[in-house]
Structure 1
Amino acid sequence: MVERRDLEIFLMLAEELHFGRTAERLHVSTARVSQTIRKLERRIGAALFERTSRRVATTPIGRRLEEDLRPAYQQILDGIDRAIAAGRGIDGELRVGFVGTAVGQFLHQVAAAFQDLHAACHVQVLEARYSDFLDLLRADEADLVLVPVKVAEPDIATSPVLFDEPTVLAVSARHPFARQESVSLEDLARDKVLRPRALPDYMDESLVPRRTPGGRPIERGPEFGTVQEMLSLIGAGRGMFPVPAHAARFDIRPDIAYVPIRDGLRRERRFIWRTTAETHRIRAFTQVARDVVARSPNPLQN
């Protein structure tokens, strides 16, 4: 018999592709993860993961199993959460942070839908900065934050990606790129790219790669802590930065131009919260956000 915890371990390993990180996120031992995967492989009669000293990867059978299981498993969790919420009621306060501009508008939309269902729970929407969104959670000043980067911290839980959008390059209106119809990732090596202040290197690299696809180094320029700091530096010609496409509508300034990036990486949005502070409020709010996105898959472009 396959237990719910076995499925949870399998799906987490398929996401992380690392036994140690899977064990940390689920608060179990690495040995437990290994034992569970071996048990599943014996039950199925085939390998689910390829393991070497350098990497872990799903096999074709493992990938198919993940594709089949993940939606059904999430549906089970969502059903349990809805039943718990209906049985216990959700009240109190939920503090939700965001990084960006239009993202706050999206969260207010989610908060309104959430409070239609849970009128006794007050939602406070807070603006966070690139430089402090983790601090807000760890200092218990926010319950969850919607962020534009993938977070891999042992004490932080993450939701699946809610939605993503293309990136555009924000440059000074006087920059040569401002007169072009589009740019490529190779063009990032032709000028300084700003850097979010205090962001761990792996998060920073998820926003701006260290090198172009052709291998040219991307030089980093001044640091910024807030979106407004970033825009002021760009307008002053101190550097450029790839931003979500919605910025071209919501952050209009005469000193800044937004140029499409032909081969740019998509900017993903996901919720994060302290693993030890997960509540029914957090799970219910995350579910409502998923429902809102399901009705409008590009919520920041509307």
Structure 2
Amino acid sequence: MERRDIEIFLTLAEELHFGRTAERLGVSGARVSQTIKQLERRFGVALFQRTSRQVALTPVGGQLREDVQAGYQRIQEGIAKAVAAGRGFAGTLRVGFSSPLVGEAIMAAAQAFRTRHPDCEVRIREVHLSDAFGALRSDELDLQITELPVQEPDLAGGPAVLRDPRLLAVSAKHPFARRDHVTVEDLARDVVLVPADAPAYLLDAIIPAMTPGGQAIRRETVLTSRQELLTLVSGGAGMAVVGSQATRYHARPDIAYVPIAGLPPLEYGPVWPVGGQTSRVRSFLALLQAELDR
């Protein structure tokens, strides 16, 4: 039974009057009559007894009403909750970030969001490239600001909200540490450390697989956290492509950060599950953009 068929059947079972049923549902009397006749033909049994003076449920119709009513009510309640969640702000908004620069911007937006929507709690947590979308898919997050691009069929997103110039992180003892810049060709001269289990298309966007001259860039997938990255780089296990934010949040005497010529900035943008762009998400993103535009 279609949802509208159920509505007509249950309303007629309550009103026991075709005219009042039509008026209550905002449809024609002919529509009500036609729907009931179609249901009776489909089931092969009468659901209502009709006379010129009254309408009554048959035993089968009464049983059908009993069986359908409880389930239909639960469906209506579920739909109402979903609509309320999409339109309202009461509850919790869970936001993830993947870098300190993004985290700082999210914290500022969260403060503005709490002021505007005091009935909505904002929870913030870090996510790692080694499990870039696990928290979104397991319903632990409603929204994430993360490295772009994102090419996942079950996730939707918006354009970049933050850009960060790329640097090459090397050990302070590395020959590149004394350079004022490196080129993409230089990335082929040592191992480049990359996050384990990150999507291949994202790794290709952050660290190309080949140099413009056709040399392969040796990417080693061993990292699970930024602290592990810094430890391995400082020990000379390899290099890493990072954002310029590293000079602010991860300055260390045993690591040098060298500009990379020929690569555009890293980009960060919003991602959410398909169908999950609620009013809370839209409001938060608007406030985040306002904070970044200051």
Runs of 5+ consecutive residues of structure 2 not aligned to the other structure: 1-82
Q: Secondary structure at the match of 1:261?
A: strand
* Aligned partner letter, 2:149: K
1:185 corresponds to which residue? 184
Superposition RMSD in Å: 1.8
1:216 corresponds to which residue? 215
* Aligned partner letter, 1:286: L
Question: In structure 2, what is the Cα distance between the partners aligned to 1:125 and 1:97?
Answer: 6
Question: In structure 2, what is the Cα distance between the partners aligned to 1:215 and 1:116?
Answer: 53
2:94 corresponds to which residue? 95
Asked whether the equivalents of residues 165 and 265 of structure 2 are also in contact (C-alpha less than 8 Å), the reply is: yes
Question: In structure 2, what is the Cα distance between the partners aligned to 1:239 and 1:265?
Answer: 22
* Aligned partner letter, 1:102: L
2:146 corresponds to which residue? 147
- TM-score normalized with structure 1 length: 0.67
1:173 to 2:172 alignment: yes
Q: Secondary structure at the match of 2:216?
A: coil
1:129 corresponds to which residue? 128
Q: Secondary structure at the match of 1:290?
A: helix
2:116 corresponds to which residue? 117
Question: In structure 1, what is the Cα distance between the partners aligned to 2:198 and 2:190?
Answer: 21
Q: How many residues align?
A: 211
Q: How does 1:234-253 map to 2 (within 5 A)?
A: 234-253=233-252
1:283 to 2:266 alignment: no
- Give the superposition deviation at 1:228: 1.3
- Give the superposition deviation at 1:96: 0.7
1:229 corresponds to which residue? 228
The 4+ residue runs of structure 1 with deviation greater than 2 A are none
Asked whether the equivalents of residues 89 and 118 of structure 1 are also in contact (C-alpha less than 8 Å), the reply is: no
Question: In structure 2, what is the Cα distance between the partners aligned to 1:142 and 1:226?
Answer: 19
1:199 corresponds to which residue? 198
Question: In structure 1, what is the Cα distance between the partners aligned to 2:145 and 2:232?
Answer: 24
Q: Secondary structure at the match of 1:93?
A: strand
Question: In structure 2, what is the Cα distance between the partners aligned to 1:273 and 1:89?
Answer: 18
Runs of 5+ consecutive residues of structure 1 not aligned to the other structure: 1-83, 296-302
- TM-score normalized with structure 2 length: 0.68
Q: Secondary structure at the match of 2:275?
A: helix
Question: In structure 2, what is the Cα distance between the partners aligned to 1:95 and 1:127?
Answer: 11
- Give the superposition deviation at 1:113: 1.4
2:105 corresponds to which residue? 106
Question: In structure 2, what is the Cα distance between the partners aligned to 1:221 and 1:153?
Answer: 23
**Deviations along 1:229-258, whole A, 9 cap, x unmatched?**
111111111111111111111111121110
Larger radius of gyration: 2
Asked whether the equivalents of residues 155 and 276 of structure 1 are also in contact (C-alpha less than 8 Å), the reply is: no
- Give the superposition deviation at 1:182: 0.9
Asked whether the equivalents of residues 164 and 267 of structure 2 are also in contact (C-alpha less than 8 Å), the reply is: yes
Question: In structure 2, what is the Cα distance between the partners aligned to 1:265 and 1:185?
Answer: 11
**Deviations along 1:248-302, whole A, 9 cap, x unmatched?**
111111211101112222100101111133311111111111111222xxxxxxx
Asked whether the equivalents of residues 133 and 145 of structure 1 are also in contact (C-alpha less than 8 Å), the reply is: no
Question: In structure 1, what is the Cα distance between the partners aligned to 2:209 and 2:137?
Answer: 28
- Give the superposition deviation at 1:222: 4.3
**Deviations along 1:104-128, whole A, 9 cap, x unmatched?**
1221011111112111111111011
- Give the superposition deviation at 1:89: 4.7
Q: Secondary structure at the match of 2:204?
A: helix
